[in-house]
Amino acid sequence: MNFLAHIYLSGENDELKIGNFMADSIKGKQYQNYSGDLKNGILLHRKIDSFTDSHPLVFQSTHRLFEKYGHYNTVIVDVFYDHFLAKNWKDYHRENLADYVRDFYRLLEVNFNRLPKNVQRFFPYMKAQNWLLSYADIPGIRQILYQMNKRVKNGVRLDESVDELQMYYTDFEWEFKNFFPDIEAYVAREIEKLG
């Protein structure tokens, strides 16, 4: 799951959303420097990643990409799945995606000083280029993956995976749509445990 899914799965709790969103920047036991639902959001993010990485339908999606993209296959599928969530947003949330994304950006602006430094650095670009809304179409996905190429070693071109997305579009979408109820149910149980 990429940014959009992590935010969505946090439900309506703003603190949980922020923690979940910034969790990739919080390494190891650094989560202990946070409290309340901000800390819970970081831990929830890790649980979502573990559940996703061990799910058989996600394995089908990632396996399709492994030969060409190696261990970057999971990163690519995270972005693909955010695409399917954005594309089918009306099936998952009552608020339209553009409004939902605008509200989330506003939430981050109000809480900007609480974000880790590297999140503070990329957030202005994220908002200006409207990453979350751009997941909804193929050119947007290609652009997101192209930007991610800068962080990849060995000359792997993540943006080229859009060719596989288009070639196996029905398969990827079927896997996402059948996986997503499982992750929603899992996260609902985990949030209930948090109280």
**17-39 pLDDT, tens digit each:** 999 999 999 999 998 999 999 99
Predicted confidence (pLDDT) at residue 100 exceeds the cutoff of 90: yes
Both tokens of 55, joined, read 């799910």
Q: What band does 160 get if pLDDT is binned at 50, 70 and 90? A: very high
Both tokens of 105, joined, read 């950006």
Whole-prediction pTM: 0.94
Burial of 4 (0-12, 13-18, 19+ CB in 10 A): buried
Exposure letters 72-98 (e unless 16+ CB within 10 A, then b): bbbbbbbbbbbbbbbbebeeeeeeebe
Residue that has been written with the tokens 């394995």 in this structure: 59
- Using DSSP's 3-state secondary structure scheme, residue 167 falls into helix
Q: What band does 113 get if pLDDT is binned at 50, 70 and 90? A: very high
Looking at residue 81, what is its pLDDT? 98
* pLDDT tens-digit readout, 73-89: 999 999 999 999 999 99
Looking at residue 194, what is its pLDDT? 83
Q: What band does 129 get if pLDDT is binned at 50, 70 and 90? A: very high
Looking at residue 68, what is its pLDDT? 94
Looking at residue 99, what is its pLDDT? 97
d(CA 127, CA 187): 26
Predicted confidence (pLDDT) at residue 195 exceeds the cutoff of 80: no
Lowest mean pLDDT among 101-110, 111-120, 143-152, 158-167: 143-152
Measure the CA angle with vertex 37, ends 188 and 105; round to 5°: 90
Task: Give percent above pLDDT 70 in the chain.
Answer: 99
| CA 87 to chain CA centroid, nearest Å | 14
Predicted confidence (pLDDT) at residue 58 exceeds the cutoff of 90: yes
CB-based contact 17:56 (threshold 8 Å): no
First CA to last CA distance, the chain: 23
Q: What band does 179 get if pLDDT is binned at 50, 70 and 90? A: very high
Predicted confidence (pLDDT) at residue 95 exceeds the cutoff of 80: yes
Instruction: Say what the alpha-carbon torsion angle 154, 119, 51, 137 is, to the nearest 10 degrees.
Output: -70
